Amino acid sequence: MGVSFFDMSTPAKPTPPGAERIIAGIMAAIVVWGLFHAVGAWTLNHDARRPLIVLACVAAFLGFWLALLAARRRRLERQALLQDETREQRR
């Protein structure tokens, strides 16, 4: 049987230095991209619901991404804690 995409038993690799800054830049670019599309949606017929839908979708995407990053951070912390406990038990 193959390895599942959602297999959480394999250890996650630590985040490389500077990755948080790159991710923050990408998220800022996505916000700008969403605002650009929201303005375009509004200029089509000046209906305020259109840009709200676009911005809600961008916010939902970023919220989901942030939730996944938070879950990854918790998993890395938990793995580091387990590794420290294992090292201390071996002593």
The pLDDT assigned to 1 comes to 47
Give the span between the Cα atoms of 1 and 85, in whole angstroms.
Answer: 31
DSSP helix/strand/coil, 3: coil
- Please state the pTM of the whole predicted model: 0.77
Domain assignments of the chain as residue spans, ordered by start: 20-90
- Token readout for 87 is 């090292």
CB 16 within 8 A of CB 7: no
Per-residue pLDDT of 5-53, as tens digits, reads: 566 666 667 778 899 999 999 999 999 999 999 999 999 999 999 999 9
CA–CA distances in Å: residue 23 to residues 27, 43, 62, 66: 6, 30, 11, 10
